[in-house]
A and B are shown apart, each in its own frame.
Chain A
Amino acid sequence: MDFQTAAKYASLLSKDYAEDIFQLLVNYQAISASEVATRLDLHIKTAQDFLESLEQLNILSKEEVLEKKRPYYRYILKQTRIVIDIDLMQVKREPSQNSMSAHIREKENAGARFSVARSDDYITSVTIWTGIGREREERKIKLTTLQGKFLYHLPFPKAEPLTVDEIMRKAAIDESLAPEIVDLVQLLEKYNVIESISEAAG
């Protein structure tokens, strides 16, 4: 199951009235939105939206019924178990060969402020400013110790750029921790604190 689907399940299950509606669905052969609404004292739109969402997730099926020429839907429970199963490894970003061999250095006039740890051997946070004029906002990014050590060894602006791999070696960071380093590099690239230099230019 992907995150988005799991989030829909979780969102529906977190409603105050979710358990009551499921109780009705389990005990009734088929039930309409207005029946649910009057039974649980809900607004009909609330009941309708909830049932439609369950139907979209394939937990319910619906059948059209005609009453006095006005069609409406009756909902039938299709499955009696809901399992939310997420493989967290699906969001793990394995650093690519490209990201590890990219030549990087701090960007000139990045306008970021680096806070150094008391021990003076790693950076604890980077403060950046986004937007202009009245929209200008300060954003402080707290770093893990390893990220801080990596940033501490990042080449200065105008200095010879180094690959992510080389900086990690200088900072004595194990290769297995590359994902959190690459994540930081990508974030700081996005905020123009780090620049990637192509080998030809570098």
Chain B
Amino acid sequence: MSLVRKLKPDRNITGALVPLSMLPIFGLTSLIFGIPIGLLTLAVMVALIGLFYLYVFIRTWNVFLLVLSADCAFFVFMLVIASGKLKDTEGNFMANPFDSTEFALAYFTGLVFFGFVIIFLTLTRRLKWRGREIFELAAEPVEETGNGYTSRPRPVGKVNYSPQQMRAYTRFCSSHLIALPYSTSKNITLVLVKNSEEFGRLLGLSGDYRDATWVNFDVDGEVSVHIAQKDYLDYRQPLAFDQLCTSLGQVFIDFFDLYDKGEGVRVIDRLDDLKISVLS
């Protein structure tokens, strides 16, 4: 398999910026209101991140995301204790947690456990949105260049499936973070999400999903493809747009065939074989 990348290197740091931005906020609130308030502020932000991943889990049914939510819940609990604000009926739950061996024990065991699990899930790409892999796969057979971009969707073919088959395939795509599904009574649209872009897409900050890159399956089995200009410009070369759209549609049709034969794991293997960085 060719490892020549057709996409430009990923220089998007949004994914890292979101958690990192909590640090200066924590520092500033600690400086202005004191460390306990700073810790509580941090706890609120971590809780929000945890809720976000819980929402992503509900949206995608990727169970590994629950680890992130659980991790956030654990750290929220530890931060609240560390702030010294958690009280029982008899006073402070833990008067000075920073001097407490029990607190240190609980904190570090949790840190080791969640750290290990999250690193494992990251390295095995269980938490990775597969947008970049899909774009690379779509571009693989396209050698011709010549631009020809248009915002119009392209009908790329027809597949025969029952609504149940399609729903199951959609679930497969979302649970493996291959694409984010949007369903209506007549269509199932699979929107490609690159790693680090999930925040904007899932929080609705990236605009209408119909302006993004998607593959649409309608009730009659017609498959159509739309590639957003932003994603097209992410390729190093102006690939023949017509062929690129057809190829992207074909990738999802091939995935559907594999999944339908019970070989969904081959889909994941194909994506993993591209060996795209776990962080991009």
Find the A residue at minimum CB distance from B186.
A119
CB contacts (< 8 Å) of A106 on chain B: these are 150, 152
Q: Which of A96-104, A108-116, A180-188 contacts B (4 or more CB under 8 A)?
A: A108-116
Given contacts A120-B187, A121-B224, A158-B240, A153 and B148 within 8 Å (CB-CB): no
CB contacts (< 8 Å) of B148 on chain A: these are 108, 156-159
Size bracket, chain A contacts: 20 to 34
Interface residue B91 (Cβ < 8 Å from any Cβ of A): no
Find the B residue at minimum CB distance from A120.
B216
Report the bound CA distance from A119 to B186 in whole Å: 7
Question: In the complex, what's the smallest C-beta–C-beta distance from A33 to chain B, in angstroms?
Answer: 61
Q: Which of B103-158 contact A (CB under 8 A)?
A: 146-155
CB contacts (< 8 Å) of B155 on chain A: these are 121, 152-153
Report the bound CA distance from A108 to B149 in whole Å: 7
Question: In the complex, what's the smallest C-beta–C-beta distance from A177 to chain B, in angstroms?
Answer: 19
As a 0/1 sequence over residues 146 to 171 of chain A, the CB contacts with chain B under 8 angstroms (1 = contact) are 00000111111111000000000000
CB contacts (< 8 Å) of B151 on chain A: these are 113-114
Interface residue A118 (Cβ < 8 Å from any Cβ of B): yes
Question: In the complex, what's the smallest C-beta–C-beta distance from A166 to chain B, in angstroms?
Answer: 14
Interface residue A60 (Cβ < 8 Å from any Cβ of B): no
Interface residue A25 (Cβ < 8 Å from any Cβ of B): no
CB contacts (< 8 Å) of B240 on chain A: these are 158
Size bracket, chain B contacts: 20 to 34
A156 pairs with B218, CB closer than 8 A? no
A156 pairs with B147, CB closer than 8 A? no
Question: In the complex, what's the smallest C-beta–C-beta distance from B154 to chain A, in angstroms?
Answer: 6
Interface residue B241 (Cβ < 8 Å from any Cβ of A): yes
CB contacts (< 8 Å) of A118 on chain B: these are 184, 186
B245 pairs with A120, CB closer than 8 A? no
Report the bound CA distance from A29 to B68 in whole Å: 100
Interface residue B189 (Cβ < 8 Å from any Cβ of A): yes
CB contacts (< 8 Å) of B270 on chain A: these are none
CB contacts (< 8 Å) of B149 on chain A: these are 157
The 5 closest A-B pairs by CB, nearest first: A158-B148, A159-B242, A157-B148, A156-B242, A114-B152
Contacts from A to B (Cβ < 8 Å): 106, 108, 110, 113-114, 116, 118-121, 123, 151-159
Contacts from B to A (Cβ < 8 Å): 146-155, 184, 186-187, 189, 210, 216, 218, 222, 224, 226, 240-242, 245
Given A120-B187, A157-B147, A158-B148, 17 more contacts at CB 8 Å? Answer: A106-B152, A110-B150, A114-B151, A114-B152, A120-B189, A120-B216, A120-B224, A121-B155, A123-B152, A151-B152, A152-B152, A153-B155, A156-B148, A156-B245, A158-B147, A159-B148, A159-B241
